[in-house]
């Protein structure tokens, strides 16, 4: 486990700058099912001209779609390698190197902020998460939207999505065995051949509660599994998404 915040930032940066990450993340832009649904719901009519910050933009995967929707979007990331690829692919867009815990923007500057693909969970220790959320709240306008996702601790036991992949099965067994499943939250280390990252896991109700304490009210939740999406739509309830989706997507509003 990293000794402190700066050590973890360097560890994460080393991973995101690696050849493996570039190979994995420098692909044609695409959105996951839950991401696409959340964007459609949140920005149905008023997207054009909105000032939006995309934190952890990487090679521009989500930033591209925000730009295509007519938004005035800025993408930031700690990986200079992925940012170089983003600038080459989308030279007309605004990409900057930046730290999620120290956002170099004005108060109340943005209509919406995104930190999806579980980027918030890469921050260690928990105080770094709090610092990031305070910064996001600072730069958001009142009533502004914050879109995020998280690693679902519940899905370690109840999820089935890609559950039989060897390293996923290993992750599930070891974290139930060592008691992490029975905690409100936990930092979990991935195997080295799966990135070796230290990532934050929590239960959906704990995540929503913590977000409310930081000044954000829950507006929407969407799954990344098509089956769970149909269940949520048919039942008009997110219960199965909260139980079984490994990476639920959330929309919050600054109050």
Say which CATH class 5-152+202-254 falls into. Answer: alpha beta
| Direct distance between the N- and C-terminal alpha carbons of the chain, in angstroms, rounded to an integer | 35
Residue 137 φ then ψ, to 5°: -65, -35
**Tokens representing 40?**
């459609």
User: What span, in angstroms and rounded, lies between the C-alpha atoms of 123 and 170?
Assistant: 23
Q: How confident is the model at residue 252 (pLDDT cuts 50, 70, 90)?
A: very high
Name the percent of the chain lying above pLDDT 70.
88
Q: Prior bond to 123 cis, omega within 30? A: no
Which pLDDT does position 240 carry in this prediction? 84
Angle between helix axes 226-235 and 33-42 (nearest 10 degrees) is 40
Which pLDDT does position 85 carry in this prediction? 95
Q: Is the pLDDT of residue 157 over 70?
A: yes
Average pLDDT score, the chain: 89
Q: How confident is the model at residue 83 (pLDDT cuts 50, 70, 90)?
A: very high
Q: Is the pLDDT of residue 178 over 90?
A: no
From residue 36, give the alpha-carbon distance in Å to each of 66, 146, 188.
Answer: 11, 15, 28
Judging by DSSP bridges, how do beta strands 140-149 and 110-115 pair with one another?
parallel
pLDDT tens, 105-151?
999 999 999 999 999 999 999 999 999 999 999 999 999 999 999 99
Q: 94: helix, coil or strand?
A: strand
Beta bridge partners of 115: 148
How many Cβ atoms from other residues are within 10 Å of residue 135's Cβ? 19
CA atoms within 13 A on the CB side of 89: 18
Residue 101 φ then ψ, to 5°: -90, -10
Q: How confident is the model at residue 180 (pLDDT cuts 50, 70, 90)?
A: confident
From residue 170, give the alpha-carbon distance in Å to each of 23, 117, 248.
Answer: 24, 22, 21
Q: Which of 56-60, 82-86, 103-107, 243-247 has the lowest mean pLDDT?
A: 243-247
Q: Is the pLDDT of residue 168 over 70?
A: no
For residues 76 and 98, is the Cβ–Cβ distance under 8 A? yes
User: What span, in angstroms and rounded, lies between the C-alpha atoms of 68 and 54?
Assistant: 14
Residue with the bigger pLDDT between 196 and 240: it is: 240
Q: Is the pLDDT of residue 205 over 80?
A: yes
Lookup result for tokens 């995540």: 207
């Amino acid at each position: 486990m990293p000794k402190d915040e700066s050590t973890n930032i360097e560890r994460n940066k080393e991973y995101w700058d690696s050849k493996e990450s570039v190979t994995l993340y420098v692909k044609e832009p695409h959105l996951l099912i839950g991401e696409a649904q959340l964007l459609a719901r949140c920005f149905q009519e008023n997207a054009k001209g909105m000032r939006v910050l995309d934190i952890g933009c990487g090679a521009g995967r989500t930033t591209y779609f925000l730009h295509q929707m007519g938004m005035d979007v800025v993408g930031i990331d700690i990986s200079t390698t992925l940012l170089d690829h983003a600038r080459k692919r989308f030279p007309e867009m605004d990409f900057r190197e930046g730290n999620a815990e120290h956002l170099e923007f004005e108060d109340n500057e943005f209509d919406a902020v995104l930190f999806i693909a579980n980027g918030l969970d890469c921050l260690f220790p928990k105080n770094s998460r709090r610092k990031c959320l305070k910064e996001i709240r600072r730069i958001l306008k009142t009533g502004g939207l914050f879109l995020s996702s998280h690693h679902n601790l519940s899905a370690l036991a109840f999820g089935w999505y890609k559950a039989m992949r060897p390293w996923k099965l290993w992750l599930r067994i070891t974290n139930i065995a060592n008691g992490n499943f029975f905690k409100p939250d936990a930092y979990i280390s991935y195997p080295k051949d799966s990135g070796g990252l230290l990532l934050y896991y929590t239960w959906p109700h704990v995540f929503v509660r913590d977000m409310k304490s930081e000044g954000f009210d829950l507006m929407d939740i969407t799954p990344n599994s098509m089956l769970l999406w149909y269940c949520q739509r048919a039942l008009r309830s997110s219960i199965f998404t909260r139980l079984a989706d490994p990476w639920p997507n959330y929309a919050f509003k600054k109050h």
